[in-house]
Amino acid sequence: MSALVDRKHLLTSVEMAQFVASGAVRLDGVVPAALNDRAIDVFDAGIEHHPYGTDLDTAYPPGSFVRDLVDLPAVAGAIQSLVGPRPRIDHHAVHIRPPHGGTAQPMHGDAVIDTRYEGFDVQLMYYPREVTLAQGGTLSVPGTHLRRINESSIGRYQNLRGQTRLVCPAGTVVFLHHGIWHGGRRNDSDVARYMFKIRFNPTVRQVRLWNTDDIDSPEVMAALKQHTEWASNAETRLEYVNRARLWRSLTADPLFDIDYYLSREEMRPTTIAPGATDPRLGASGTGTGWGM
């Protein structure tokens, strides 16, 4: 991952806009069967853990299973588009739900309250085998990633309108914004469910890291304005503010907006109209005023 990925494998502007709106990028069946088969033995044996913030190249050297996974062109292209080259590994984990095993996790986000608007971490979730509905694939709520929460503070919510249950073919990789609301489900099938996740921390500014050839396409704005089922009209406008703020950061365009909502919120004029009285001064514009 120290080398830049060929531009043709990067995400497009439309795909990035969809990520900003939904909090996820999904790559169905991108991992070849041979690597999927190899994954099962690796995950059953366990993967060595590394300290938080370890460089990707250090954590996963060439020839290792995980390195082969993240070096796949489509996967490497998504990683570079979202967090840039040479990311750090926050942590990783193997989750195996045995047949008819486990309980449903409370809904949660994988972070304490995160005050960043100009950046984010990304979680890769890899499924080496097909995931059926009976296997209880990961539940997530698209568009919740910009609603800041503290880990499981939303755990009392059992179902939200628009939530999805992951059903996918073998070799699927999903990238999630670190703030998205989600939870693992119980496995009610006769087959074990495998999932491997990695959280990536960026080491560069997340500005125009993807293929920006279509940056001016009207499909970009359409993607940024996609509706979230759990949001009312008023809440959708708030999401427009959140999305516009993130898109400004990602594109380095300080004037970008969606339906003028963020521009209105930022109106804080600093000039004084000609002839107006400064309340810090006397009525004539002289004197100490306010006891100063």
Q: Taking the domains of the chain in order of start, what are their residue ranges?
A: 1-292
* 177-220 tens-digit pLDDT: 999 998 888 889 999 999 999 999 999 999 999 999 999 999 99
For the chain, 292 residues long, the average pLDDT of each consecutive 10-residue run is 83 98 97 97 94 95 96 97 96 92 81 80 96 90 90 84 93 96 89 95 96 97 94 90 96 94 87 75 46 43
What distance in Å separates the CA atoms of residue 223 and residue 11, rounded to the nearest whole number? Answer: 14
Domain covering 1-292: architecture: Sandwich (2.60)
Q: What pLDDT sits at residue 278?
A: 65
Query: Is 123 strand, coil or helix?
Result: strand
Q: What pLDDT sits at residue 288?
A: 44
By CB atoms closer than 10 A (0-12, 13-18, 19+), residue 273 is exposed
Q: What pLDDT sits at residue 289?
A: 41
**Tokens 């460089």 sit on residue:** 55
Q: What pLDDT sits at residue 144?
A: 92
Contact 258, 17 (CB under 8 A): no
Backbone angles phi, psi at 149, to 5 degrees: -135, 170
